[in-house]
Amino acid sequence: MELSKKTVKRILLIITFTVLLIWAIYNHKLLLKYIGELYSLISPFVIGLCIAYVVNVIMRPIERLWMKLLSKCKGKWVEKMKRPICLLLSILLVIGIILAVVFIIMPELSDSVSSLVSMVPSYVSEVESWWEALALRLDKYGVELPQFSFDTDKFIQILKDGGTAVLNTTLSATTSIVTAVINIVLALAFSIYVLAQKETLKRQSKKVLAKLMKPEKMQKLLDMLDLINRTFTNFITGQLTEAVIIGALCFIGMSIFRMPYAPAISVLVGFTALIPVFGAFIGTAIGAFLILLVKPIQAVWFVVFIIVLQQFEGNLIYPKVVGKSVGLPGIWVLVAVTIGGNAMGVVGMLISVPLCSVLYVVARNAVNGKPLAGEKPEPKSK
Reported as a single tens digit per residue, the pLDDT across 126-168 is: 777 777 787 787 777 777 777 666 666 666 666 556 555 555 5
Contact assessment for residue 144 and residue 138, using Cβ atoms and an 8 Å cutoff? yes
For residue 152, the tally of other CB atoms under 10 A from its CB is 13
Single-letter amino acid, residue 124: V
Confidence bin at 252 (pLDDT 50/70/90): very high
Same-domain pairing of 236 and 344: yes
16 occurs within a structural domain: no
Is residue 114 domain-shared with residue 70, that is, in the same domain?
yes
User: Where a domain ends, among 160, 190, 212?
Assistant: 212
CA distance 266 to 146: 42
Is pLDDT of 50 > 80? Answer: yes
Q: Does 251 lie in the same domain as 198?
A: no
CA separation for the pair 291, 273 (Å, rounded): 19
Q: Is residue 275 one of the residues assigned to a domain?
A: yes
Number of domain units in the chain:
2
Q: Where would I find the H helices in 257-380? A: 262-272, 279-292, 296-312, 318, 324-325, 330-368
Q: Is residue 46 within 8 Å of residue 39, measured between CB atoms?
A: yes
Q: Is 136 within the bounds of a domain?
A: no
Is 99's pLDDT higher than 50? yes
Q: Is 137 among the domain residues?
A: no
Domain-located, residue 132: no
Do residue 267 and residue 148 come from a single domain? Answer: no
Choose the final residue of a domain: 190, 212, 234.
Answer: 212
Q: For residue 275, what is the DSSP state?
A: S
Read off the pTM: 0.68
Rg (CA), the chain: 28
pLDDT at 382: 37
> 34: closest CA among 24, 47, 19?
24
- Domain presence at residue 34: no
pLDDT(374) > 50: no
* Rounded CA separation 268/103 (Å): 11
Q: 309, 299, 305, 307: which is closest to 246 by C-alpha?
A: 309
Q: 272 and 316 share a domain?
A: yes
Residues 100 and 85 in one domain: yes
pLDDT at position 32? 81
Does one domain contain both 207 and 61?
A: yes
Question: Is residue 182 domain-shared with residue 218, that is, in the same domain?
Answer: no
Q: Is 166 among the domain residues?
A: yes
Out of 162, 182, 212, a domain closes at 212
Range of the domain at 319: 213-375
- Is 38 a domain residue? no
Asked if residue 106 and residue 92 are part of one domain, the reply reads: yes
- 226 shares its domain with 365: yes
- What's the mean pLDDT in 57-75? 85
Same domain, 273 and 152: no
Q: What is the pLDDT of residues 166-221, one digit of tens each?
A: 555 555 555 566 777 788 888 889 899 999 888 899 899 999 989 888 888 888 88
Same domain assignment for residues 276 and 358: yes
Least confident range of 33-47, 159-173, 340-354: 159-173
